[in-house]
Amino acid sequence: MLEHILRRMGFGASPAELAAWSAMPIEAVVDRLLNYESLTTDHDSKIGDPNYLGITTATGQPFSPNTLINDARQRWLFRMTHSQRPLEEKMALFWHNHFATAYSKIAGAVGQERATRMMDNDPNSLPGSEPGQIQKLRQLGTGSFATLLWEMAKDPAMVYWLDSLMNTRTRPQENFGREVMELFSMGIGNYTEQDVYAAARVFTGFNWQINGDRASTAGSWYSYRFVPGDHDPTAKTFTFAIYPDGGKTIPARAAAQGEQDALDFVLALVRNPATAQRLATRLYKFFVNETANPDPVVVNLMANTYLSNNYNIKAVLRALFNSAQFRDQASYFQHYSWPAEFVVRSFKEVGWTGFSANNALTPMSNMGQQMYEPPDVNGWELGPGWISTSGMLTRMNFASTLAGNQRFNLARDAQPYRQTPERLLDYALARFRTMGFTTTQTQAMTDYLRSTAWTGSDAQLQQRVPGLTRLIVGAGEYVFN
Amino acid sequence: MNFSRRSFVKGGVTAFTFGFAAPQVLSDIAFAQGVPSRNLVVVYLSGGNDSLSTVIPYRDPFYITRRPTIAIPAGSVLQIGTDASGVELGLHPQMTGMKSIFDSGRLAIVQRTGYANQSRSHFTGFDIWGTASTTNTSGTGWLGRYLDTLQSPVDPLVGWNTQRETPRPLMARLVGVPAITSPATYAFSSPNTGAEAGYERTAQTRISSHVPVDRPYLAFVNSTTQAALGTLDRVATVAAYRPAITYPNNGFAQALQAVAGAMNKQIGTKVFWVQTGGFDTHASQGTNQGAYFNLMATLSGGLKSFYDDLNAQGMLNNTVVIVYSEFGRRISENGSAGTDHGAAANMMVLGGLVRGGIYGSAPNLNMDPQNPTLENSNGDVKYETDFRSVYAKVLDNWLGASSVSILGADYRTGAPNVL
């Protein structure tokens, strides 16, 4: 169960990490992973340390994760692999798919440096600057959903991505108004086209501004700004309740108070029971089980926890991770790993020393997931959507590259088991855990090890252990975590 | 007034309006010509194409008044003639390639395709077009169901997806469609070389043979792996293809080049999936210069190269290409010099045996509440031809399959006589 918890509440564990976690009782593990706020986050300071996952900088440039998107991608992979708060990174990944915003549209408008900052700026890198969208997801991801949704509505990357800054009282533009209901909260079937028109008018006036040294693309950043003159101050009526008393109309207000319209509307979406159900279902599918229909008992418990705890996501997660269904063996290995999860789990289980995060970026893209670049605002196609012939080929080939790179460490780790192929296979299957293989499959692995006479020599280990690693990590069974 | 003489010369090719009974089918010819060599290329425009900017009713006075900044000037359109309802139409100025295919009589434009209560959601809309169902949008796709009818054992390359993810239309119960984004990179790598790499490949093939009926999710993954391994060598031959003409250097055209290569190498693929994006033009649409202008150039340039390449190789009569999007866009522009999600739109069909021309009737953009061609308070184009009747025509007349069983209902009535 420990491995299952570590794979789901984080990204898995290296042999050394697993040994450390094994010393703690399970409830302490869950508590430590869930209540991570007290843990230090000095993982960024380890970037460049040869004992950690490597990074590759652009020729002649310093590592610039706040202004170069490729470096930001490497940094996020590094954080997913090494953060002392794996759940924080896991929730940022979950919300990134939920509030799916793509870098390239923004970069097309404001250039790569400002767009990279908008996606994942660390405010410490530039005095006065704002956290990037993903950094906000880290900070707010297990707090109140009301805060999260409100901050996302005002997030400058989101403002540009869904054309909010073009949405004015004279010509309302529906993109954000539609998606905030369809994708970010209640979901389809809970609003009408008339609600979309009204929602567009609610968010009129949302805009952005540039701050800092405007002449410097690396020294300036965008932030939210409300433009009262663009706001439609008339009343907006909806088909669902906006206020706790059941009122469905946002009253006419002076334009200068226009943001209150949006706040009222956001809170209405947050407290809507359809939102509670939808978020609970999405979290269940992500964390518990993706291959069977969600258990309505757990989903309802999570939805009710959400509604009765001020929309607090951590409370919902606590209910989820403490549920019998989450802990049940039937839930092990029932999640189609996202490319990010597959890659980071591989780093942990196979090894990372001497490997650069940069070498995972193109494979991840070919597996179908490039960080900061979801295909559209609906996010990535999850579950079987990850599985295609080129996706599987890429996973296998990535396993090959990583195993080859970690050849000597893998061979050395396997030395105590070199006497027979069967012993070696047992060791490998225990290290790279899956839902299990059939005897036909394990026979294929033993036959592979015996392709030529088995000697267990160092040279043979250095060929066959990476080869065997690649077979397991590249297998269909390993897709599920 | 300027309309194509072709519409009279061809006898029977002119536009049909809604309500006509299904015209004479061509299924006899379909079988006689050797169905196995025929293929279908589906080109999906992702994001909701502004169909009013692709095929333009340039003389409609409301076109200018409802689109003051993004309308295309009448003098710039590539005129293609008048449809049966008397509306003069022209193609977007960048569609010079498509215009020449139209002039050859091999491009059919089916106006106002869609369905009742059309979804304006990208994702629901795409799934409705994909499953050909408005009620069950999370099941198999219409192309997948076609592939499932083929006699087993089915060639693993009977379908070919040029995208990374399997799209809804290709989802099947039995047949896995390989995703081959680039024939050149579709290869098996190993941490070892020579004979060792061969031992691994053998083992990986055996390991992926576990396709358990009681765990369909695992069966799907392993059969996908099997399909990948089983197709590596044949896909490699396509990587060696040298086309008759030079395709533009963009993802869309390169995908079409790979399709032409698969045809040239006689891989035996029956259904190809190609898509190109960027059509969700909510802001700064740029129909006369900018985003949309470039989209049309990419679309037309890619399809023309493909057409010319196949023509030069004598393969044009084996192929039908259909082009569609999940919805069209609003008639009036929004405040951001763009358009929001709308409803009905054009589909296009092209190929060596396609009966080109203009089918259906153009929308009248008049704000009159009695206007039967619009809906949603005259905000959107109302459909005239159910998109599934175009699917039916292709399934029945081109692929020799049974559209009624694949689509789950009879959509043959009102189908445009494009094949």
Write the pLDDT tens digit of every residue in A92-141.
999 999 999 999 889 988 999 999 999 999 999 999 999 999 999 999 99
Does residue B400 sit within a domain?
A: yes
Q: Which residues of B touch A163 (CB under 8 A)?
A: 282-283, 336, 338
Per-residue pLDDT tens over the stretch A251-277: 999 999 999 999 999 999 999 999 999
Q: Identify whether A25 is preceded by a cis peptide bond (ω within 30 of 0).
A: no
Dihedral of the CA atoms B390, B392, B393, B396 (nearest 10)? 160
Give this complex's ipTM.
0.93
The per-residue pLDDT for A1 is 95
Does residue B244 sit within a domain?
A: yes
Residue in A168, A403, A438 closest to B335 by CB: A168
What percent of chain A clears pLDDT 70, i.e. is strictly above it? 100
**Gap from B328 CA to chain A (nearest CA, Å):** 15
For residue A61, what are the contacts with CB-CB under 8 A and spacing of at least 6? Answer: A68
**Gap from B164 CA to chain A (nearest CA, Å):** 6
The mean of the pLDDT values for chain A is 96
The residues in A 401-460 lying below 8 A from B, measured between CB atoms, are 401, 403-404, 407, 435, 437-438, 440-441, 444-445, 447-448, 451
The per-residue pLDDT for B25 is 30
Does residue B272 sit within a domain?
A: yes
**Gap from A394 CA to chain B (nearest CA, Å):** 8
Residue in A388, A393, A475 closest to B166 by CB: A388
**In this structure, which long-range contacts are made by residues A324-330, counting pairs with CB atoms below 8 Å and at least 24 apart in sequence?**
A325/A288, A325/A289, A325/A295, A325/A297, A325/A298, A326/A8, A326/A287, A326/A288, A326/A298, A327/A1, A329/A1, A330/A289
Exposure string for A283-303, b = 16+ CB within 10 A, e = fewer: bbbbbbbbbeebbeebbebbb
Q: Across the interface, do A188 and B178 touch by the CB < 8 Å criterion?
A: no
Q: Which residues of A touch B178 (CB under 8 A)?
A: 388-390
Burial class (CB in 10 A: 0-12, 13-18, 19+), A228: middle
Does residue B335 sit within a domain?
A: yes
Q: Whole-angstrom Cα distance, residue A133 to residue A92?
A: 10
Which domain range does residue B158 map to?
A: 6-407
Q: How many CB pairs under 8 A join A and B?
A: 185
Q: Which residues of A touch B380 (CB under 8 A)?
A: none
Q: Across the interface, do B203 and A163 touch by the CB < 8 Å criterion?
A: no
Q: Across the interface, do A366 and B188 touch by the CB < 8 Å criterion?
A: no
Q: Across the interface, do A467 and B192 touch by the CB < 8 Å criterion?
A: yes
Question: Which DSSP state fits A229?
Answer: G
Q: Across the interface, do A407 and B340 touch by the CB < 8 Å criterion?
A: no
- Looking at the fold, whether A62 and A196 belong to one and the same domain comes out as yes
Which domain range does residue A391 map to?
A: 339-479
- Token output for A96: 């990134």
Dihedral of the CA atoms A39, A40, A44, A45 (nearest 10)? -150
Contact status of A172 with chain B (Cβ, < 8 Å): yes
- Token output for A393: 């080929």
Q: Which residues of A touch B189 (CB under 8 A)?
A: 396-397, 400-401
**Gap from A291 CA to chain B (nearest CA, Å):** 7
Question: Which DSSP state fits A107?
Answer: H
**pLDDT mean for each 10 residues of chain B (419 residues):** 29 24 31 61 97 97 96 97 96 98 98 96 92 90 95 86 89 84 86 94 95 90 88 89 94 96 92 96 91 96 98 94 98 92 97 97 95 95 97 96 97 95
The per-residue pLDDT for B10 is 29
* Amino acid identity for residue A155 in this structure: D
Does residue B417 sit within a domain?
A: no
Contact predicate B44/B325, CB 8 Å = yes
The per-residue pLDDT for B3 is 29
Q: Which residues of A touch B46 (CB under 8 A)?
A: 376
Burial class (CB in 10 A: 0-12, 13-18, 19+), B239: middle
- Token output for A41: 């986050």
- Looking at the fold, whether A27 and A130 belong to one and the same domain comes out as yes
What residue in A sits closest to B339 (Cα-Cα)? A173
Q: Across the interface, do B121 and A400 touch by the CB < 8 Å criterion?
A: no
Q: Whole-angstrom Cα distance, residue B109 to residue A161?
A: 33
The CB density around residue A105, as the number of other CB atoms within 10 Å, is 16
Q: Across the interface, do A444 and B203 touch by the CB < 8 Å criterion?
A: yes
Q: Across the interface, do A470 and B222 touch by the CB < 8 Å criterion?
A: no
- Looking at the fold, whether A269 and A398 belong to one and the same domain comes out as no
Does residue B416 sit within a domain?
A: no
Half-sphere exposure (Cβ direction) of A88: Cα atoms closer than 13 Å:
22
Residue B367, φ and ψ in degrees, nearest 5: -85, 5
Per-residue pLDDT tens over the stretch A27-82: 999 999 999 998 888 889 999 999 999 999 988 899 999 999 999 999 999 999 99
Q: Across the interface, do A467 and B191 touch by the CB < 8 Å criterion?
A: yes
Contact status of A391 with chain B (Cβ, < 8 Å): yes
Does residue A188 sit within a domain?
A: yes
- Looking at the fold, whether A372 and A223 belong to one and the same domain comes out as no
Facing residues of B90 across strands? B56, B79
Contact status of A170 with chain B (Cβ, < 8 Å): yes
The per-residue pLDDT for A105 is 86
Mean pLDDT value of segment A153-177 = 92
Mean pLDDT value of segment A201-219 = 95
Q: Across the interface, do B334 and A440 touch by the CB < 8 Å criterion?
A: no
The per-residue pLDDT for B8 is 27
What residue in B sits closest to A466 (Cα-Cα)? B191
Q: Which of A276, A292, A318 is the last residue of a domain?
A: A276
Does residue B413 sit within a domain?
A: no
Q: Whole-angstrom Cα distance, residue B12 to residue B20?
A: 13
Q: Across the interface, do A387 and B340 touch by the CB < 8 Å criterion?
A: no
- Looking at the fold, whether A272 and A390 belong to one and the same domain comes out as no
Q: Which residues of B touch A470 (CB under 8 A)?
A: 190-191, 200
| Residue keyed to tokens 């509670």 | A276
For residue B362, what are the contacts with CB-CB under 8 A and spacing of at least 6? Answer: B55, B57, B60, B83, B85, B87, B89, B111, B112, B373
Q: Whole-angstrom Cα distance, residue B51 to residue B159?
A: 28
Q: Across the interface, do A388 and B178 touch by the CB < 8 Å criterion?
A: yes
Q: Across the interface, do A391 and B120 touch by the CB < 8 Å criterion?
A: no
Strands B319-325, B345-351: pairing is antiparallel
Does residue A383 sit within a domain?
A: yes
The total domain count for chain A is: 2
The total domain count for chain B is: 1
- Looking at the fold, whether A119 and A233 belong to one and the same domain comes out as yes
Q: Which residues of A touch B283 (CB under 8 A)?
A: 163, 166, 173
Helix ranges (H only) for A322-388 are 324-327, 339-350, 358-367
- Looking at the fold, whether A240 and A155 belong to one and the same domain comes out as yes
**Gap from A62 CA to chain B (nearest CA, Å):** 31
Q: Which residues of B touch A173 (CB under 8 A)?
A: 282-283, 334-336, 338, 340
Q: Is the dihedral of CA A364, A368, A369, A375 positive or negative?
A: positive
Q: Tell me what percent of chain A is helix, strand and coil, each rounded to the nearest 5.
A: 60, 5, 35
Q: Which of A224, A251, A276 is the last residue of a domain?
A: A276
Facing residues of B91 across strands? B55, B78
For residue A456, what are the contacts with CB-CB under 8 A and spacing of at least 6? Answer: A418, A419, A420, A424
Question: Which DSSP state fits B274?
Answer: E
Residue in A389, A407, A476 closest to B222 by CB: A476
For residue B317, what are the contacts with CB-CB under 8 A and spacing of at least 6? Answer: B33, B351, B352, B353
Q: Whole-angstrom Cα distance, residue A15 to residue A427?
A: 12
The per-residue pLDDT for A93 is 98
**Gap from A393 CA to chain B (nearest CA, Å):** 7
- Looking at the fold, whether A345 and A450 belong to one and the same domain comes out as yes
Q: Tell me what percent of chain B is helix, strand and coil, each rounded to the nearest 5.
A: 35, 15, 50
Q: Which residues of A touch B180 (CB under 8 A)?
A: 389-390
Length in residues, chain A: 481
Question: Which DSSP state fits A350?
Answer: H
**Gap from A107 CA to chain B (nearest CA, Å):** 15
Q: Which of A429, A331, A343 is nearest to A5 (CA)?
A: A331
The alpha carbon of A273 is separated from its chain's Cα centroid by a whole number of angstroms, namely 25
Mutate to test the interface with A, among B140, B207, B222 (most CBs of A within 10 A): B207
The per-residue pLDDT for B137 is 87
- Token output for B144: 């997948």
Q: Across the interface, do A441 and B210 touch by the CB < 8 Å criterion?
A: yes
Question: Which DSSP state fits A287?
Answer: H
Does residue B70 sit within a domain?
A: yes
- Looking at the fold, whether A128 and A255 belong to one and the same domain comes out as yes
The per-residue pLDDT for A413 is 97
